[in-house]
Amino acid sequence: MLHIHNNLTRRKEAFTPIDPKNVRLYVCGMTVYDYCHLGHARVLVVFDVVNRYLRKVFGDEHVTYVRNITDVDDKIIARANENGEAIESLTNRFIKEMNRDADALGVQRPDKEPRATTHMDEIIAMIQVLVDKGYAYQGKTGDVYYDVSRFEHYGQLSGKNTDDLRVGARVKVVAAKDDPLDFVLWKMAKSEEGTSWPSPWGEGRPGWHIECSAMSTGCLGNHFDIHGGGLDLQFPHHENEIAQSEAATGEKFVNVWMHNGFVRIDEEKMSKSLGNFFTIREVLEKYDPEVVRFFILNSHYRSPLNYSDKHLDEAKAALTTLYTALRGLDSTEAINDSEYEQRFTAAMDDDFSTSEAIAVLFELAREINCQRCCNVPLAAQLGGVLKRQAACLGLLVREPDVFLQGGDAGGEGLSCSAIDALITQRLDARANKNWAESDRIRDELAAQGIVLEDSAGGTSWRRE
């Protein structure tokens, strides 16, 4: 049975969906004003695996995955004005770039991908309910704020104490609202921003937190199963989502809260100011996207993820080992209910422990290599098990030679046709017992990072 660490209760719990025929997952997506970075890559890949595994357990037709897009925000407005372009032009451009990166990483598209700007009616309606119920008020400058003091359980998700938070709050914000902890639901329009919508409180635009509450409940209902996102969103974003959603609907908002850990660069926090800030696009210029995906999944989603070239090189070598085990096998058939499959499932049932699941894949690869010589049919069947389980992680989805001979994402080095031509020359030299020429060609290929593997069936090759 699937168990998930619930950040709301701070313990691992058996996952029991509200409706097994309608398992609902919502993940906070991207704010689209720039290229996605490594932190975004982790969110995309981690919850892609959660989505894949939920579909395996409950059936594809019984899972709904929603990942929103924030397409109106302070940063978006500032970047559009800086560029001298329309907000919609900016956001549409970076939505396309986000999808390009996600597709490269093997991330399946969510069932629904709501945008804040297309859910303005729902956002305004939810704010109106909060105002009518006394949970929100219009401040001195016209902005509408949520009254945190009215929500009894504020701080439950993050474990923060409201009195401590007030002490640490900046005094200068008190003049605009009743309490330093109160957060904005509707911002009054500013002429320099150039974008606004009509509302009962005047022309303006929504605050960030209310957007997710309106989109998630609008797509999945007032009460749904899982809400996910990066650990940086736990407070205040997710804390505020709970407060405003439960106050508006009168129902529990979400049963299980999941947060993936931070990404660090060579053991330091990723930061533009430190010069160690990498976009997905930059990383994919150096490494195959599946290598990056493997690297992300080889750590538990809740643990910190330390990025370095060394770790990416190790991920490439590990993935090469798995693909090499499948090379030359007709793995269309798989053994059912194998010990490996049971252990893989046990790992995934334990809070999506992808690192343990990957360890099972390596045990399978070793067994395949042991069986390859003495029992080819069994090796092929085990290969089918390996591919089926890896597919649950979005791995090993290509033909082995496509990965092994494909090289790095940058496409540097000898072309496949050039390598094949040199191998043919080497085979001719060997046939003529010209061992010096044969060795010269092998050395030439090795210098280009090409590994030759001779066997009774011929010579195969892969990139180092």
CA 54/CA 51 separation, integer angstroms: 5
pTM of structure: 0.90
pLDDT at res. 256: 98
Q: Give the chain as a 3 state SS string.
A: CCEEEECCCCEEEECCCCCCCCEEEEECCCECCCCCEHHHHHHHHHHHHHHHHHHHHHCHHHEEEEECEECCCHHHHHHHHHHCCCHHHHHHHHHHHHHHHHHHCCCCCCCECCEHHHCHHHHHHHHHHHHHCCCEEECCCCCEEECHHHCCCCCCCCCCCHHHHHHHCCHHHHHHCCCCCCEEEEEECCCCCCCCECCCCCCEEECHHHHHHHHHHHHHCCCEEEEEEEHHHHHHHHHHHHHHHHHHHCCCCEEEEEEECCEEECCEECCCCCCCCCEHHHHHCCCCHHHHHHHHHCCCCCCCEEECHHHHHHHHHHHHHHHHHHCCCCCCCCCCCCHHHHHHHHHHHECCCHHHHHHHHHHHHHHHHHHHHHCHHHHHHHHHHHHHHHHCCCCCCCCHHHHHCCCCCCCCCCCHHHHHHHHHHHHHHHHCCCHHHHHHHHHHHHHCCEEEEEECCEEEEEEC
Cα–Cα dist 348/357, whole Å: 6
Q: Distance between CA atoms of 113 and 68, rounded to whole angstroms?
A: 5
Q: Tokens standing for 203?
A: 């022309």
Angle between helices 87-104 and 38-58 (to 10 degrees): 60
Mean pLDDT, the chain cut into blocks of 10 residues (464 residues total): 98 98 97 96 98 98 98 95 95 98 98 98 98 96 96 95 77 70 96 92 96 98 98 97 98 98 87 80 96 98 96 97 92 80 97 98 95 81 94 96 72 68 68 70 71 66 73
Maximum Cα interatomic distance, the chain, rounded to a whole number of Å: 92
Distance, in Å, from the CA atom of 341 to the CA atom of 389, rounded to the nearest integer, reads: 7
In contact, 380 and 393? CB cutoff 8 Å:
no
* pLDDT of 455: 61
What pLDDT sits at residue 321? Answer: 96
